[in-house]
Amino acid sequence: MKPENAYTTGIFTVGMLFFICGFTTWLNAVLIPYLKVACELNNFQAYFVTLVFYLACAAVIFPTLRLLRQADHASVMVIGLMLVTAGALIFIPAALLRTYPLFLLSLLVAGAGVGLLHAAAGIGLSAYGGGGAMRRRTAMNACGKAAGALGLLAIGGVLFRNIDGLEASIRMAEGASRAAELDTLSHKIVLPCLAIALSLLAATFWVKFAPLPSVAAENSGARREEKAQRSGGPHLLRLWLGGLALFLFAGAEVVGIVSIALYGKSAGMSLEAAKALPACSLLAAILGCLLSAALVPKHICRERTLAVCAALGVIFSVAAVSAPGWLSLAFVALLAMAAAPVWPFVFSLTAKAGRGDRASAAMLSAGALGGALLPLAYGYLADAVGARQAYWILAPCYAFILLYAVANLPSAGEAKAKK
């Protein structure tokens, strides 16, 4: 196969994997309100959805790195796809039995698969092609957000059809009739899970038999020497600070998107209408990705863009708590637009401090842990002080990212050198 054809096939496959990761990950935004009703949970319990999913993502990242050194790249991607497929299939008995721990088990398995796919796809994205890695990462980030929006609209349309009437019936019913109504709601997810599993099997066959270019693991002596030279105190400090920034960013982004449906319901919207709010947030995130791709680095450097995005995150967080009614919902949605460009910029800045696969894996792991822990903290605060006041948790997250961006702003001499 010609090298350019192999390159095209590799980029298409990586894009497909980012699409699958985005589709699967952002379904949590409809699963949280859906399972909250179907399994009769409070806010804190409902946010165990993101806890188990992102903990599984974080847990598999370093094992994935070792696996990539022992097996070929395509085989690792196939394993990840099979795990996500297994997670989708476990949802079926969980729905039929309406058992929340079994739902969480399915999310744990799917999360492990997504973490494996994300790490493998990220390494493949860096390996396929020369320069422009940050631009490619931004494009794949937008691809994942678009997949998430499509998934939320499609699956949410099935799960939340007539849900307000069904929820009213559940509240009024007792005993066996109440259990029957809850079972009716729980069973709605069975057919979507079957469709998702079949689609994932098709993607698995593509990855298994597609002629993908090889991806070499990083194991040369020269690369090890380069990493050793970058293991000093200043580089290590930058790596830790960048990891913390990614932890806070990922947690803040997940909170802003997965919480907005329940927040809309608490603000007086019907749940059937509120189901569209996470998709609106992801559309705002896509707009943020497109703006950053158009402006960076031609018109503004990534460090200044990161500072602007973080400052907007602080402003929108405070406005979400302070603004009245529907305006507050709009600011929560706009948080996604401010957050969208943050990941590739912080990732590329932090990568300077720790080149190599292990540094990338550490940053991915830090981001996944943020997605696991901060939404759970938000759920606890939502039960304690209300969904609106709980958004105060986001302001210090974006404030730290702002400080990190300001600390990395290039000097006047460096800016001229870049030009």
Q: Domain range holding 370?
A: 3-209+226-418
**Prediction pTM value:** 0.89
Give the integer Cα–Cα distance in Å for 230 and 239.
10
Backbone angles phi and psi of 220, in degrees to 5 = -75, 155
Per-residue model confidence as pLDDT tens digits over 15-57: 899 999 999 999 999 999 999 999 999 999 999 999 999 999 9
In a domain, 217, yes or no: no
**Is residue 145 pLDDT above 80, yes or no?**
yes
The whole-number average pLDDT for the span 108-121 is 91
pLDDT of res. 330: 95
Q: Which of 38-52, 156-170, 178-192 has the lowest mean pLDDT?
A: 156-170
In a domain, 23, yes or no: yes
**Is residue 415 pLDDT above 70, yes or no?**
no
pLDDT of res. 224: 45
Name the band, by pLDDT with cuts 50, 70 and 90, for residue 258: very high
50 vs 53, 166, 192, 328, 372, CA distance in Å?
5, 25, 20, 23, 5
Name the band, by pLDDT with cuts 50, 70 and 90, for residue 416: low
Nearest to 57 by CA among 110, 107, 112: 112
Per-residue model confidence as pLDDT tens digits over 24-34: 999 999 999 99
**Is residue 6 pLDDT above 80, yes or no?**
no
pLDDT of res. 366: 79
In a domain, 13, yes or no: yes
Please calculate the CA angle 299-302-303 and round it to the nearest 5 degrees. 120
Name the band, by pLDDT with cuts 50, 70 and 90, for residue 63: confident
Q: Average pLDDT over the chain, rounded to whole?
A: 85
**Is residue 100 pLDDT above 90, yes or no?**
yes
Q: What's the token pair of residue 223?
A: 């690369």
The whole-number average pLDDT for the span 93-110 is 96
The total of other beta-carbon atoms located within 10 Å of residue 44's CB is 16
Q: What is the total count of domains within the chain? A: 1
Give the integer Cα–Cα distance in Å for 61 and 119.
6
Give the integer Cα–Cα distance in Å for 335 and 152.
18
pLDDT of res. 225: 43
Name the band, by pLDDT with cuts 50, 70 and 90, for residue 291: confident
Supply the DSSP symbol for 213.
Answer: P
In a domain, 39, yes or no: yes
Helices 133-159 and 28-38 sit at what angle, rounded to 10 degrees? Answer: 30
The total of other beta-carbon atoms located within 10 Å of residue 51's CB is 19
The whole-number average pLDDT for the span 143-150 is 92
Name the band, by pLDDT with cuts 50, 70 and 90, for residue 298: confident
Can you give the length of the chain in residues?
419
Q: Where are the alpha helices (DSSP H) in 27-132?
A: 28-38, 43-46, 48-70, 73-97, 100-127
Q: Which of 10-19, 184-193, 287-296, 358-367 has the highest mean pLDDT?
A: 184-193
pLDDT of res. 226: 45
In a domain, 195, yes or no: yes
In a domain, 216, yes or no: no
Per-residue model confidence as pLDDT tens digits over 390-412: 999 999 999 999 999 898 877 65
In a domain, 221, yes or no: no
The secondary element (H helix, E strand) that includes residue 330 is helix 325-339
Give the integer Cα–Cα distance in Å for 402 and 410.
14
Per-residue model confidence as pLDDT tens digits over 192-250: 999 999 999 999 999 988 877 666 555 444 444 444 444 455 667 777 888 888 899 99
In a domain, 278, yes or no: yes
CATH number of the domain enclosing 357: 1.20.1250.20
Per-residue model confidence as pLDDT tens digits over 308-363: 999 999 999 999 999 988 999 999 999 999 988 887 778 777 766 555 556 666 77
